[in-house]
Structure 1
């Protein structure tokens, strides 16, 4: 069985985010998306339950500029067996629709049995790519799994639990399938010194659009359904109103809330 996990290189939330002159998010201070760590952990747990790396290897896939390989390296340090980095200048500016085309082409080339993703990226936060990818592949999808992820002994069926607001759903699908997991699914492992050193020897393959057989006109701005006309930093937050308790603070507070139809 082959397990493929999709990861993204996103701006580090510890640093201010801003847009460049091309209306695209600046990614100079970026890391592996935190939510994708849960997907990597899930993929590794599936692998370990089915013979480990030699029998059920985990491959990690990312799309992006050359520096996006850092996201792959972090996943390799966690225990993934190999990495694939799709990098092509034509991909820049792709929305979720165009990105799903690249992912479809890559998945078809790699031919995994299970594709695992996080619930969303921490930059765009669309959360639609798992479903888009499954639709393009024609595969079943188990989305927003909260835990109890397992693959049957004969590697034909994928099961997972999804926790809804008012109910708990037990999901099941035949393989191949697409799975997305939430940040409640597990506790991602922390790379130790041995795994960090070992990750240096693990192979990372770089692929272009041509190698995937994908027309450049189907990605980037030309292949996207969304156009960004203008982007900029959010305005500075205005100072709040301070109510001094001079004996009428309660009345002033009620008036403040009433003016905004909050009571």
Structure 2
């Protein structure tokens, strides 16, 4: 089984986001960037499948600027076989990314696409569903446990009421949730090996994909500063403040 894993370069989750002075977006200059945490989980699961003999080849694909190659190298250091870099300086919308992934998946002959359920920078969470619709593949979202079978994959997925088990016929798409696994740290020998693994570079134009944006960002602003709390002496005072000051009851 050939497994394709999209990985995205995002603002590191430990870094506080800052809005650009002109309010056109988040300021990414001189800040630490890293692989999207949900994508790390997808990479880990693909590597585990390969170690178990289920996956015959694992491919990491990233859509982004030149520095996105660093994210691919991280995936290769974790154990992925090779990478595909779709170079663009645009901040693409989920539909454009889904179209690019469709072209890559078809060219590679992927049988399973594992991807994070969402990216922590924009929180769209729509790419997996759009990609599955474009491919006309079944999708198991928010995966908690995976069990590959003969021509199928069983997905235990997280839902509001607990866990739901679905069996998907391959080829299929699975989006990963936090409880699926604990991603490994890349060892120094694997980091050195990753430098020699191949990364194929293409552009959306090479794939014949139109990435024209459909949405317009009007303005990006920081959230309102949270006010300090107050200590109340009695329950009656608490109720009074909730009713007359906060207006929540």
TM-score by length of 1: 0.85
2:78 is equivalent to residue 83 of structure 1: no
> CA deviation digits over 1:97-122, x for unaligned, max 9?
22222222222222211100011111
The 10-residue stretch of structure 1 (188-197 or 125-134) with the greater mean CA deviation from structure 2: 188-197
Query: 1:35 is matched with which residue?
Result: 38
CA distance in 2 between counterparts of 1:243 and 1:22 reads 36
> CA deviation digits over 1:67-126, x for unaligned, max 9?
11111111111111111110034xx13222222222222222222111000111111112
Shift of 1:2: 0.9
CA distance in 2 between counterparts of 1:187 and 1:135 reads 29
> CA deviation digits over 1:205-256, x for unaligned, max 9?
1111222122xxx21xxx223210111333333x3253465xxx44322211
For structure 1, which runs of at least 5 residues remain unmatched after alignment? none
2:222 is equivalent to residue 233 of structure 1: yes
Q: Structure 1's 5 and 250: CA in aligned 2 closer, same or farther, altered over 3 A?
A: same
Query: 2:24 is matched with which residue?
Result: 23
| 8 Å Cα contact 1:11-1:26 kept in structure 2 | no
Q: Structure 1's 241 and 226: CA in aligned 2 closer, same or farther, altered over 3 A?
A: same
CA distance in 2 between counterparts of 1:108 and 1:19 reads 38
Query: 2:181 is matched with which residue?
Result: 186
The 10-residue stretch of structure 1 (106-115 or 176-185) with the greater mean CA deviation from structure 2: 106-115
Shift of 1:64: 0.5
CA distance in 2 between counterparts of 1:123 and 1:256 reads 36
CA distance in 2 between counterparts of 1:116 and 1:95 reads 19
SS of 1:3's partner is strand
CA distance in 2 between counterparts of 1:73 and 1:117 reads 17
Q: 2:152 aligns with which of 147, 153, 157?
A: 157
Query: 2:236 is matched with which residue?
Result: 251
Q: 1:97 aligns with which of 66, 91, 95?
A: 95
Q: Structure 1's 165 and 213: CA in aligned 2 closer, same or farther, altered over 3 A?
A: closer
| 8 Å Cα contact 2:155-2:168 kept in structure 1 | no
Shift of 1:261: 4.4
